[in-house]
């Protein structure tokens, strides 16, 4: 059975381990590979990045050594933008493109100026906490925990700057399918989500799920069902043995 590798990139303030529980719910042919970012989780001692393309280049160089084709990329919020940049960075290194790019819960690269308005400047701790509160993904007792916040807020501040300083480039489009997931109560508009179609020559889809910004956790089973459905199609097209990318 050909194994398809799914690289998952985290959202702002999070470690890639937010995806670890998915392993128990994926079929044997789909291998989950969370991509940890510098400055969090097992890489907490490393410097945080505030330049999206610099981070994507670093990650591309790191994952290239063990990356096996076929592979797909998934990212939520910040992770979606970073997954797109990682696809371009891997292609620049001579690697094949992913068989699919999943962009979840955020506006397309060409619509960042309206989506990330106000994120280009560093936010105070109070502003960051209020942002977390509006996203409705962090419990109040966590927000009130000064020790936890002292660890989380520097990461969140850098991640917001990653998005706020991002500017789209004129470059060759991807050729892989792009599948977009959105929350019906999230702030990303239909137009901002559909604009992801401008990133590829390949096929494109949008699926809207109930819930707000963290619909990937609120409706995890539905998200994983969509991922498995799209990727099973790609797996059947890549039945030859997987090869190490070099």
Active site residues: 77
Q: What values do phi and psi take at 204, rounded to 5?
A: -150, 145
Nearest to 169 by CA among 89, 96, 90: 89
Structure tokens at 15: 């470690």
What lies within 8 Å, CB to CB, of 119 at 6+ separation is 160, 161, 163, 164
CA dist list (Å): 225 to 25, 32, 149, 172, 182: 10, 14, 34, 31, 15
Q: Where are the alpha helices (DSSP H) in the chain?
A: 52-64, 78-92, 112-115, 125-135, 140-143, 146-164, 190-194, 215-218, 220-237
In angstroms, rounded to a whole number, what is the distance separating the alpha carbons of residues 63 and 131?
A: 32
φ, ψ for residue 102 (rounded to 5)?
-105, 120
DSSP 184-214: TTSSS-HHHHHGGGGGBSS-EEEEEESSSTT
The 8-class DSSP code of residue 217 comes to: H
Paired strand residues for 200? 174
Cβ atoms of 202 and 189 closer than 8 Å:
no
């Amino acid at each position: 059975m050909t194994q398809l590798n799914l690289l998952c990139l985290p959202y702002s303030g999070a470690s890639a381990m937010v995806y670890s529980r998915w392993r128990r719910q994926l079929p044997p042919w789909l291998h989950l590979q969370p991509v940890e970012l510098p400055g969090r989780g097992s890489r907490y001692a490393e410097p945080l990045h505030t330049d999206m393309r610099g981070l994507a280049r670093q990650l591309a160089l790191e994952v290239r050594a063990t990356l096996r084709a076929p592979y797909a990329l998934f990212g939520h919020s910040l992770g979606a933008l970073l997954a797109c940049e990682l696809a371009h960075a891997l292609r620049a290194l001579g690697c094949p493109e992913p068989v699919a790019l999943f962009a979840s819960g955020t506006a397309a690269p060409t619509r960042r100026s309206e989506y990330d308005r106000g994120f280009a400047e560093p936010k105070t701790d109070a502003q960051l906490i209020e942002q977390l509160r509006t996203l409705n993904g962090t419990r109040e007792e966590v927000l009130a925990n000064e020790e936890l916040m002292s660890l989380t807020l520097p990461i969140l501040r850098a991640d917001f700057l990653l998005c706020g300083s991002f500017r789209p480039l004129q470059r060759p489009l991807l050729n892989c399918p792009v599948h977009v997931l959105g929350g019906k109560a999230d702030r990303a508009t239909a137009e901002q989500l559909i604009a992801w179609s401008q990133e590829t020559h390949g096929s494109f889809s949008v699926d809207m799920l109930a819930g707000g910004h963290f619909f990937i956790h609120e409706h995890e089973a539905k998200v994983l069902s969509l991922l498995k459905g799209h990727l099973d199609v790609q797996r059947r097209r890549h039945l030859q043995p997987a090869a190490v990318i070099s």
